[in-house]
Structure 1
Amino acid sequence: MNLDALHRVSLRRMLIVLLLAGVMVGSLLQVWLTWHTARSAVNAAFDRSLFGAVKAIDANVSTESGGLAVELPYVLFEFFELTANGSVYYRVATQDGLVEIGSPDLPMPDAPLQDRQPHFATVEYAGAQMRIATYQRSLPQSVGGSSDTRLVIQVAEPFASRDQFSRRFIAGALARDALLAALAAAAVAAAVAWALRPLRQLRQEVAARAPEDLSPMDTSRVPRDVLPLVEAMNQHILRNRELLDSQRRFVDDASHQLRTPLSTLQTQLAFAQRASDLPSVQAALAAVREQLRHTIRQTNQMLALARADSCDVQAEAVDLAELASEVTRRWWPQARARQIDLGLEAAAQPARVLAQRELLEEALANLLDNALRYTPAGGRVTVTVGVDGDSASLGVSDSGPGIPPDELGRATQRFFRASNSQGTGSGLGLAIVASIAKRHHGRFDLLQASDEGGLCARITLARR
């Protein structure tokens, strides 16, 4: 199973499996540590008991007669043999072995002995595994004709008793570890279920929503780790809601704005059909042509507004001065036909922004169309490109009648036309420009033109 397939597994199941695997590994490590520690503790306890037997024999060694004598503590040895579950062997001798008491064939350690320091070893003796404690100390005088004054005391016991005790001790420790591991596994499963409860509630909330419900999801009970995901989903919901609202507005606007022109066209065509003389027919067809021109322009404006509201901005580096020069030259024939002075003023500093060039061209074209439409003959229209710190602006000012100050706040609403406007218009030009500026996270301002005396419309965007 690759990583992608693993991530498609249930989050709850994956967390439980991973955490339980960690618990299992920890439990196995704990078992090994328990076994190792228990064996060490049992050996240490039994070795201490074995050394106690050595010290008891040492306390009963006598050399007063010139020889080596030992009065064995039989009660202690009987108890020791009982706990050892077998025979206990001992040996008391000089280091050279010339004088000895007990079992003479008990093996000596390979390593040199240190005085009064016990040495423990596991050996094969009498057909069984034995644990031997060896202890050496100095005698005040030589004994039994031996010139060696070092006394060696050895005691050996079988491993049976300590093996039996170790098994019981380790079995109890393992049972405790197994219980703790089971409790830890249950705690892990319960903790995972409790931690994922907000996600289940979120899933149930989303599943219970009505299809038309596009309100943001409540994030008050969402865990911090999942909060960025839910916030991204809310942003997606918001974008979808804006898109649906834009589509709904477009349908409403189209049904409202096109119904009257189409009805007018039908009436004018009916009049042309009924007219009997050529001048009347030509007049009716001229009216139809004008109405069609107005309807086509209004439809194109509504389509442009819908595109500005809903399209994804494909940003690229755009030089506002170069764009303004190109669009302005494109509108010079219309300006000359209306006897209007159309000029361009661009800042000396580079005015580069990240934007979609086609949308900015659409915005500037709408501003120029409005300015040329409402500026009287002999007037002035100026396209300006400015730079102010981290922002760049693209604007159009004219010497027309402008917009009354109390109506500037509503000028970017759809189908709004100022009270002093004359002629025909769709009332969508400034709304399109405002929507394009918003899509680029910029600002659209309408001001009274200080130089021209009419209206100044300006788009402000962040510089690249």
Structure 2
Amino acid sequence: MSAPSLRRQLLLWLLLPLLGLLALDAWLTYGRAMAAAHHAFDRTLQGSLKAMREGIRLRDGQFAINLPYLALEIFESEAGSSIFYRILDARGTTLTGYDELPLPPTRPPEPYRTAFYDAVLRDMRVRVAAQRLPVRDAASAQIQVVWVLVGESVEPREALAHDMLTGSLLQEGLLVLLALGIVWLGVRRGLRPLRQLSASVAARHADELAPLPQHGLPAEVTPLVVAINQYVARLLRMLDARKRFFADAAHQLKTPLAVIQAQSELALREPDGNRIRRHLAPLHDTVRQAAKGVQQLLSLSRLEPDSGYAPSLQPLRLDTLAGEVALELAPVAHRAGIDLGFEGEPVTVAAEPQWLQELVGNLLDNAIRYAGPDARVTLRVARQEAPGQDTGALLQVEDNGPGIAEAERDAVFGRFYRGSTAQAQEGSGLGLAIVREIARVHGATVTLSDTAGGGLTVSVRFAEADRAPAG
């Protein structure tokens, strides 16, 4: 099925109304032409009626009628129509002429007033002029009334109206054709920028994704080009994110894969099973660390601003969820010699549980990993109220470790960045980057500050949900 043509649709939308207007104008023109023909022929018909009236005499109660046949013949010859007449007295007796020629269908006109009407005579449509004429008797001076009727066939009138209509339609038809030609040229010229834009896009290479030019485009086309450019920009950002993901994944896996290869080669050369097991233990740790790094990269990829991801928010108790995560990581903290504490105040936020668990888990994992042996780590959840502002929820992870220098606090949210105090510990440098992205998609903010007495405090501020969680 062929695509609809914009040029064809524009021409049809212009042609069909023009044809409709032409038909309406033809109907109106024919009505005006018939009215003009009636006016012209009726005046001549009235002249014939007046000539006939001059030949009627009354004497001693007897009518003497002397009709001007020559005038009637001349009129009939010039008009090309058939002439009919009738003169009858007040009793309806025909004195001369055609008995079938009817009287006016409406009330009789005043004396000497002419009534014009359409009638049918011998299956022929005729136009009739009628007058009531008072005639004075020359002998007795009495007055008698007679009817004088003159009719003609309507063919000449209709022929004149048709000639007028034909001339008008030819003139208007030529104007319509001229208008359509001008419109076709205008539409073709107006669509030229679209053709040029199409040719410009078709001539591009597959990897050429520069914005389409907007200069010189019609106002109706500019929004389309702007939308295409915005779409391409989003596509480029998505492609950049994919490239960045693959580059990050290669960076993240390069060292672990080298370690795995070296340790596996050592294990393969060992004949002793116990010594092989000693090689497999660090190999397992390396694989676990690499898997965690890849999982973190996948999380970051999903949370990219241009990924189009939107969390499925639901009201949940932040204190309950944070307490559960702290309980899961308590054994890890114990093995690392960390005193892990939790302080929770009931507060509800709108969040996706999976991402909120990952946010809390990353913050606690960072604190446990980098605070150092015998350090204290406290997870705190509280309602936060400020004058003139909505009530919010505050989640804090506080430690008394070495902290992060103020000059590095913006940089630590970047991918793979590890602060100067964290170089001696294992890690990928992705934890805080993930925390910031999770906070962003939930409308929360993340700030770093010093702990009183030394250490680092990470604060995440949420808006409090409007309703309590179900269940």
Instruction: Please tell me the TM-score bracket, short chain as reference.
Output: 0.7 to 0.9
Give 1:312's aligned residue: 309
Q: From the superposition, tell whether residues 143 and 111 of structure 1 become closer, same or farther in structure 2 (CA, over 3 Å).
A: farther
1:132 deviation in Å? Answer: 0.9
Report SS of the residue matched to 1:427: coil
Q: Assess if the C-alpha contact under 8 Å between 1:386 and 1:394 holds in 2.
A: yes
Instruction: Measure the CA separation in 1 of the matches of 2:227 and 2:382.
Output: 36
Q: From the superposition, tell whether residues 314 and 297 of structure 1 become closer, same or farther in structure 2 (CA, over 3 Å).
A: closer
1:405 deviation in Å? Answer: 1.9
Query: Is it true that 1:334 corresponds to 2:332 in the alignment?
Result: yes
Deviations 1:228-255 (A, max 9, x none): 6555544443332222112211222233
Deviations 1:35-76 (A, max 9, x none): 344333323432344234435655787779998778877886
Give 2:196's aligned residue: 201
Query: Is it true that 1:429 corresponds to 2:431 in the alignment?
Result: yes
Report SS of the residue matched to 1:135: strand
Instruction: Measure the CA separation in 2 of the matches of 1:144 and 1:101.
Output: 23
Write the mapping of 1:162-181 to structure 2, written as runs, cut at 5 A: 162-181=157-176
Q: From the superposition, tell whether residues 227 and 277 of structure 1 become closer, same or farther in structure 2 (CA, over 3 Å).
A: same
Q: Assess if the C-alpha contact under 8 Å between 1:335 and 1:342 holds in 2.
A: no
Give 1:213's aligned residue: 208
Deviations 1:6-35 (A, max 9, x none): 9x5334434444543343344333333333
Query: Is it true that 1:343 corresponds to 2:339 in the alignment?
Result: no
Write the mapping of 1:256-267 to structure 2, written as runs, cut at 5 A: 256-267=251-262
- Residue type of the alignment partner of 2:434: I
C-alpha RMSD of the superposition: 4.2
Q: Assess if the C-alpha contact under 8 Å between 1:351 and 1:387 holds in 2.
A: no
- Residue type of the alignment partner of 2:359: A
Q: Assess if the C-alpha contact under 8 Å between 1:391 and 1:460 holds in 2.
A: no
Q: From the superposition, tell whether residues 282 and 121 of structure 1 become closer, same or farther in structure 2 (CA, over 3 Å).
A: closer
- Give the length in aligned residue pairs: 454
Report SS of the residue matched to 2:413: coil
Instruction: Measure the CA separation in 2 of the matches of 1:164 and 1:317.
Output: 84
Instruction: Measure the CA separation in 2 of the matches of 1:442 and 1:146.
Output: 116
Q: From 216, 236, 241, give the equivalent of 2:236.
A: 241
Write the mapping of 1:185-200 to structure 2, written as runs, cut at 5 A: 185-200=180-195
Q: Which moved more, 1:412-421 or 1:256-265?
A: 256-265
Give 1:404's aligned residue: 405
Deviations 1:334-357 (A, max 9, x none): 344443333244464x4225xx44
Instruction: Measure the CA separation in 2 of the matches of 1:258 and 1:175.
Output: 84
Give 1:379's aligned residue: 376
Q: Assess if the C-alpha contact under 8 Å between 1:272 and 1:285 holds in 2.
A: yes
For structure 1, the 5+ residue unaligned runs are none
Q: Assess if the C-alpha contact under 8 Å between 1:35 and 1:170 holds in 2.
A: yes
- Residue type of the alignment partner of 1:313: A
**TM-score normalised by length of structure 1:** 0.79
Q: From the superposition, tell whether residues 105 and 454 of structure 1 become closer, same or farther in structure 2 (CA, over 3 Å).
A: closer
Q: Assess if the C-alpha contact under 8 Å between 2:349 and 2:465 holds in 1.
A: yes
- Residue type of the alignment partner of 2:414: Q
1:226 deviation in Å? Answer: 5.6
1:431 deviation in Å? Answer: 1.6
Q: Assess if the C-alpha contact under 8 Å between 1:140 and 1:149 holds in 2.
A: yes
Instruction: Measure the CA separation in 1 of the matches of 2:442 and 2:271.
Output: 58
Q: From the superposition, tell whether residues 74 and 426 of structure 1 become closer, same or farther in structure 2 (CA, over 3 Å).
A: same
Q: Assess if the C-alpha contact under 8 Å between 1:50 and 1:155 holds in 2.
A: yes
Q: Assess if the C-alpha contact under 8 Å between 2:30 and 2:162 holds in 1.
A: no
Instruction: Measure the CA separation in 1 of the matches of 2:81 and 2:297.
Output: 106
Query: Is it true that 1:130 corresponds to 2:126 in the alignment?
Result: yes
Q: Assess if the C-alpha contact under 8 Å between 2:87 and 2:96 holds in 1.
A: yes
Deviations 1:103-155 (A, max 9, x none): 66643223321215532233344775422111235x38567889764453322
Report SS of the residue matched to 1:331: helix
Instruction: Measure the CA separation in 2 of the matches of 1:53 and 1:441.
Output: 100
Report SS of the residue matched to 1:411: helix
Q: Which moved more, 1:446-455 or 1:67-76?
A: 67-76
Give 1:368's aligned residue: 364
Q: From the superposition, tell whether residues 170 and 269 of structure 1 become closer, same or farther in structure 2 (CA, over 3 Å).
A: closer
Write the mapping of 1:53-92 to structure 2, written as runs, cut at 5 A: 53-55=48-50, 77=72, 80-91=75-86
1:189 deviation in Å? Answer: 3.6
Deviations 1:77-115 (A, max 9, x none): 565334311453444554335695666664322332121
Q: From the superposition, tell whether residues 20 and 456 of structure 1 become closer, same or farther in structure 2 (CA, over 3 Å).
A: same
Q: From the superposition, tell whether residues 124 and 304 of structure 1 become closer, same or farther in structure 2 (CA, over 3 Å).
A: closer
Q: From the superposition, tell whether residues 26 and 451 of structure 1 become closer, same or farther in structure 2 (CA, over 3 Å).
A: farther
Instruction: Measure the CA separation in 2 of the matches of 1:286 and 1:125.
Output: 124
Instruction: Measure the CA separation in 2 of the matches of 1:210 and 1:390.
Output: 53
Q: From the superposition, tell whether residues 280 and 461 of structure 1 become closer, same or farther in structure 2 (CA, over 3 Å).
A: same
- Residue type of the alignment partner of 1:240: L
For structure 2, the 5+ residue unaligned runs are 467-471
- Residue type of the alignment partner of 1:402: G
Report SS of the residue matched to 2:194: helix
Deviations 1:389-444 (A, max 9, x none): 56855643312433222222222211111223352221111222233344x27354
Q: From the superposition, tell whether residues 401 and 158 of structure 1 become closer, same or farther in structure 2 (CA, over 3 Å).
A: same
**TM-score normalised by length of structure 2:** 0.78
Q: Which moved more, 1:265-274 or 1:251-260?
A: 265-274
